[in-house]
Chain A
């Protein structure tokens, strides 16, 4: 019987010929990413181990991106603990360089790798044909100490993409539509694999946005075949694949979903669930207090170009804050070079340093009681962006920017 891409990556990492959904395999990890959301706790647990050691320090990547720059003495203490530990043990360490997943895509992820990240959006790495999955700090610590972990081999949902997205419709509209269709636990424990002729028209930025959000349907990982688009990206960033896998013709999928990309519409995900997806028109006119363009989902140069083209020569609406947060230093510098940051600044936006920003709701841009945010972030859970009684709508860079200009939710084509 044939194997899926997920099964092949796990089999390779487990050193076995084959495996199938439902098996439990002991795997050797290729890379272990951790950020400031939990690493201080991992370090405390490490220091309390009977015999603390690191299996292979070259596989560890630690990134401070959630609360950077630090917002309080408590955060500063947790950051210091992480920074000092990384230095002492020679761990690859980034601080202020960007959102962890963007930093990983730019600098580390290789096709065929099996990667644990102490962050749920680690599934983004599937855009380069790597099996990335989110874990908690205890799983992370176990893998850091032993170099291994155990994995339940997931079933795979195959998503066939056909055709092309229409102008003004983005990868983010697509993945949110899929999540709305299959629901917040529609892919729980499963891998989501994207294939089909529609892949050819999707850029790496699109692909990362799609894979990154699959955890919002509960997915364990997301995967895409490695094609020329992926290989060009790798080459541009000076890396080679570890291995290139693709699902066999006779692989078994738990579900197959066909999507005609031309039918996807601009959408928003309403508070407080990522799967509460409706056409933008249904929320048109909803007053906003803040707009956010950024995050590991939608803070890449392509997204900033979309926003800048919309807001050029216009101005952010009265009483609205518009936060523009490039996903990494590389994205920031490119946006600077292209004059995009000038456009945003002249339009009255606030351009922030690369970080998770209000997407994670604990550092900058936090919203107050009763306020509404429209965001290109990853989640719209109750209180996600600040006060427990506030509201977050998720939308594409185009819809977010158009709404920032108008002061209420509106699609870019109506601007």
Chain B
């Protein structure tokens, strides 16, 4: 039986106090998963939580009411069929709440408009600010999630044989992760052979492995609600081509340098620049077509972007990937990825 995590609830209370609020609307599925400790809602808009100074109120689609009530006796739960926003607005009124906020990054225009009309305030990313810095418990789960994907590497290398298809290898990776306790994958497992790796989002197909070609694996699993993510590119066959070796070295160096030189207090953009400048200096800047990394936690991609656009500092216990890549259309692609968390003394790998 899942229980509400007391440390998260007290952090939530502090958050309300700090922002001089007596109520906060939480409607994002992943934010709800974070607070409630497990995945409850199958779809967006099936439940809205109102966290207030004295407790939690949940408006949920009627079909969730009975099972949720027995699971969370400490939450007052009401069923709704329509007009979910109205349930929250009415409840806030009944509770005589005066300073209720909603997250303008997470609401649809229609809902936000209804909340504004009710006198609620706009606030940005309040739950995200809790989620981005992981607790010790969360870090431990993320390490275990990461251990599963690192364990998958030697396992899958043994299964790579001439003639296997990308799809077959992807299925084997998924099976392995599930057999080690994962409840699912963080995202669709990507397996690319040969020139397919030049497309960073190539979906595994019936392409068969041949001798002497590069292989790219990008995969992750969900373990106790937390995601892991890893990418490896390597040569299958005798001797890697000179070009592959050259590109691999540039990418790997950029990855290692970013991991080593990223410091507590740097912005996402600054860390991105470490990897990017390395690749640019080698003359491949325009072939590095994506950000250096992304935040990771309950979602495979969450706040703490390591990108040119992120001018926010990477704080303590923020978890993120570092995954530079170079893509040469028609030839191959190379990406190298690990996930890290930030400590006062720099990054530590999640493993």
A binds B: no
Residues of A within 8 A of B (CB): none
Residues of B within 8 A of A (CB): none
